[in-house]
Chains A and B, each alone.
Chain A
Amino acid sequence: MAETRELMLARIREAIAVQHGPELPLPRDYERQGSLSAEARVETLLDRLREYDAQIYEASSENVATTVTNLCRQRQVKSLVVPEGFPAEWLPAFGGMIPEGELDRKPLSEIEAVLTTCTVAIAHTGSLVLRHGPGEGTRRLTLLPDLHICIVREEQVVETVPEAFDALREYVTAPITFISGPSATADIEMTRIRGVHGPRYLDVVLVRG
């Protein structure tokens, strides 16, 4: 195996020794910083999430718990898993709640919904970015339940993709998931169909103020 490695590296070195033009600086003239107002940034995020078929709810920081309680009731959710480190003041008043630490009570595959925070959200692409830190759960937690409820604070919304990568700079080796709408496919006649293997429903609660 070590031999193969050396052989391949030798071939690569031989190949790249063959004639190159001058080494030019990497052009990075694309847009880094957005130009939208804070309000427009949030509106863009919500619009684009809606286009992906996500359901949007808005709340003040005081009534996040009530908003989540109501939407669980409305969706008739019976079981909801909540990851470690999820803000206590946002926990819904809801009987079917299962803390991540108590998953031995009920297998994750049988739980209907999951409630998490995120690290950053990108207006331009309608994306929520989770680095699976406190409050965001492990990767499987936001995958197996059919409904993902994600809390996004207004100030977490950036406009551009490069701005999101700036925000992730401290977490470059963390497991990171970009979520842009519910699971979907365009494999049949190139038409986007919601809901294949991941959560078929994505509810976003935007917290203002």
Chain B
Amino acid sequence: MSIRVGESASAPSFQQAALALLDDTQLRRNVRHATDVITRKRGLVVGEQADWQALRDAGSAIKRHTLRHLDEYLLQFEQAFTAAGGHVHWATDADEANRIIVGLVKQHGGKEVIKIKTMTSDEIGLNPALEAAGIHPHETDLADMIVQLGADKPSHIVVPALHKNRQQVREIFARAMNLPDLGDRPEDLTAAARRYLREKFLKVKIGVSGANFLIAETGGVCIVESEGNGRMCLTLPEVLVAVAGIEKVIPRFADLEVMLQLLPRSATGERMNPYNSIWTGVHEGDGPREFHLVLLDNGRTKVLANPEARETLHCIRCGACLNTCPVYRQTGGHAYGSIYAGPIGAILTPQLHGMQHSQSLPYASSLCGACYEVCPVKINIPEVLVHLRGKIVEEQSANVESVAMKAMAMVFRSPRRFEAAQRLGRIGQWPFISGGWIRNLPGMLGNWTAVRDLKPMPQQSFREWWKQREKSNG
């Protein structure tokens, strides 16, 4: 089995990566600006939606129900999709999915494909697989183009180039499209992308996409987008190959009435994004004449098997948790070493991957709860983070931290030992006190005193004060 989540297996720990990124003032400014704008917009359109909490409840319940009957809904989807002229493929892992997709493209003699933004394809590393087979993938989503042309990595699940500002995008486009006089207004940049891609849209015969929702009842697929590149890729080519995680299925067509209210408001802070396409299989005279869909596991069934964390699979990839996360807002997405960044990435990546990788991710959170509050399908991310921390602790061998934590638990288990430890602490701290303050601690605790002073332990604990008072009160 080769479960892969982008290149996260070889990524440095969150702490290491964050350290470097915190020094990139330009990146931090870009991330801050973009997340400020989007959280403000989201706040407005969520605030005006009077039934928002009821929609969240419905969205969460639909997802929970679907996962519980996932085999049935996938089979129902497969049957309806096939009856409508589509072909379903099943893939247990990244390599298998890539083999299927590369095989389909080759079978149709394709040397290039046009791609709609799909995080799933980044997850499985589809682009390198296509390139290795001599097939050139053209990313057509503006942000994906910025990342592809700049040989960069995505830093956000909805806006992968969120870490770049207009001047930086201008540099990338000017070089890659050979447009030395390109301006840096967003309008200039979108116009350049339009000209650059128009000919590809009309010429390339094979499209590759992801899917936002698969509809079991009808065999339909729903794709949510803004630019129209999605509509181009899924209607102009002769062959369309889509790849989707098995958790993307929803039971009924009408369930979209919930999802299509939750997703745009959460993702881009819009009442509705410019385009949603919903279609079923192959339509005579309208769109591709061949439609393949690859259903991907790649670790998802492992997540599904864990009752404490399976709600991770509710995710509809809106990115609201990234935008609101105070940690993400400091570091941006690259620190997470995964194409799935931010709070959702911190729970999804290690679970898909196995806990031996990405061990630092469940700790990349202050557990402030902002992610849970904004999640449109009510994934309790802090709770899953804590659960994953528990698994890491369970699987690790003894180390300084675990010994200290266990010793402290021992102390807390007895009020007598606790009191003794308080007394001992007061004595033990004196070598670190200077001028009435603790300013420099050794080891891991040095991370505290790097930027913060610490008041020494007072001479009398609360319980000592209490006991003294009781005594004097007789």
Is A–B contact present in the complex under a CB 8 A cutoff?
yes
Query: With an 8 A cutoff between CB atoms, is A37 at the interface?
Result: no
From the candidates B84, B166, B235, B305, name the one contacting A188 in the complex (CB within 8 A): B166
Q: In residues 114-155 of chain A, which contact B (Cβ within 8 Å)?
A: 122, 124-127, 132, 138-140, 143
Q: Which of A150-178 contact B (CB under 8 A)?
A: 161-162, 164-165, 168-169, 172-178
Asked if A209 lies at the interface with its beta carbon under 8 angstroms from chain B, I say: no
Decide yes or no whether A5 CB sits under 8 A from chain B.
Answer: yes
| Minimum CB distance partner of A132 in chain B | B286
Q: Any chain B CB within 8 A of the CB of A29?
A: yes
Expressed in whole angstroms, the Cα–Cα distance for A190 and B228 within the complex equals: 17
CB-contact partner of B272 in A23, A27, A178, A192, under 8 A: A178
Known contacts A172-B253, A176-B279: A30-B54 contact under CB 8 Å: yes
* B120 interface residue per 8 A CB criterion: no
Query: B159 contacts A186, CB within 8 Å?
Result: yes
A14 to B260, CA, bound (A): 31
Q: Report which residue of A7, A109, A192 has the largest number of chain B beta carbons within 10 angstroms of its beta carbon.
A: A192
Q: A29-B58, A109-B202 are in contact. Are A20 and B307 (CB under 8 A)?
A: yes
CA distance A197 to B281 in the complex (A): 24
How many A-B residue pairs have C-beta atoms within 8 angstroms? Tell me. 243
Q: Determine if B275 and A190 form an interchain contact, defined as CB atoms under 8 angstroms apart.
A: no
Q: Among the listed B226, B281, B305, B307, which residue makes an inter-chain contact with A196, where contact means beta carbons less than 8 Å apart?
A: B226
Which A residue's beta carbon lies closest to that of B61?
Answer: A26
> Which residues on the A side are within 8 Å of B253 (C-beta)?
165, 168, 172
Let me know if B21 is at the binding interface, CB within 8 A. no
Q: Are B274 and A30 in contact (CB under 8 A)?
A: no
Q: Do the beta carbons of B220 and A172 come within 8 Å of each other?
A: yes
Residues of B within 8 A of A15 (CB): 301-302, 304-305, 310
**B276 on interface, CB distance cutoff 8 Å:** yes
B140, A197: Cβ atoms closer than 8 Å: yes
Cα–Cα distance between A77 and B83 once the two chains are bound (Å): 42
Q: A31 at interface (Cβ–Cβ under 8 A)?
A: yes
* Residues from 173 to 207 in A contacting B, C-beta threshold 8 Å: 173-193, 195-199
CB under 8 Å from chain A, chain B span 211-268: 217-220, 226-229, 231-232, 235-236, 246, 253-254, 256-258, 260-261, 264, 268
What mask results when residues 274 to 304 of chain B are scored 1 for a CB within 8 Å of chain A, else 0?
Answer: 1111111101011100000001010001101
**Chain B residues with CB below 8 A from A179, complex form:** 274-275
Interface size for A (C-beta < 8 A) is 69
A29 engages B33 (CB within 8 Å): no
Contacts of A52 in B (CB 8 A): 274
Asked if residues B96 and A4 are in contact (CB atoms below 8 Å), the reply is yes
Is A12 interfacial (CB-CB < 8 Å)?
A: yes
Q: Is B280's CB under 8 angstroms from A184's CB? A: no
Within 8 A of A (CB), among B150-207: 159, 161-162, 165-166, 169, 186-187, 189-191, 193-194, 197-198, 201-202
Q: Give Cα A164–Cα B257 distance, bound, in whole angstroms.
A: 8
CA distance A11 to B304 in the complex (A): 9
Partner of B257, one of A161, A193, A195: A161
Whether the Cβ atoms of A19 and B301 lie closer than 8 Å is: no
**A23 B68 Cβ-Cβ under 8 A:** yes
Interfacial chain B residues near A182, Cβ < 8 Å: 274
Known: A173-B218, A183-B274. A198 touches B231 (CB 8 A): yes
Q: Considering the complex of A and B, which 7 residue pairs feature the smallest CB-CB distances, nearest first?
A: A198-B228, A15-B305, A196-B227, A15-B304, A125-B272, A197-B228, A178-B276
* A-B pairs with beta carbons under 8 Å apart, 20 shown: A1-B89, A8-B92, A8-B301, A12-B301, A16-B71, A18-B306, A24-B61, A143-B231, A164-B257, A172-B280, A173-B219, A173-B280, A174-B283, A176-B279, A180-B272, A183-B226, A183-B227, A185-B227, A196-B194, A197-B194
Question: Which B residues are within 8 Å of any A CB, using their own CB?
Answer: 30, 33-35, 37-38, 41, 50-51, 54-55, 57-58, 61-62, 65, 67-71, 74-75, 84, 89-92, 96, 140-143, 146, 159, 161-162, 165-166, 169, 186-187, 189-191, 193-194, 197-198, 201-202, 217-220, 226-229, 231-232, 235-236, 246, 253-254, 256-258, 260-261, 264, 268, 270-281, 283, 285-287, 295, 297, 301-302, 304-307, 310
Given A8-B90, A188-B189, A190-B41, list of 14 further CB < 8 A pairs? A4-B91, A7-B92, A11-B297, A12-B246, A12-B304, A15-B305, A140-B236, A175-B279, A180-B275, A183-B274, A186-B38, A190-B268, A195-B187, A196-B142
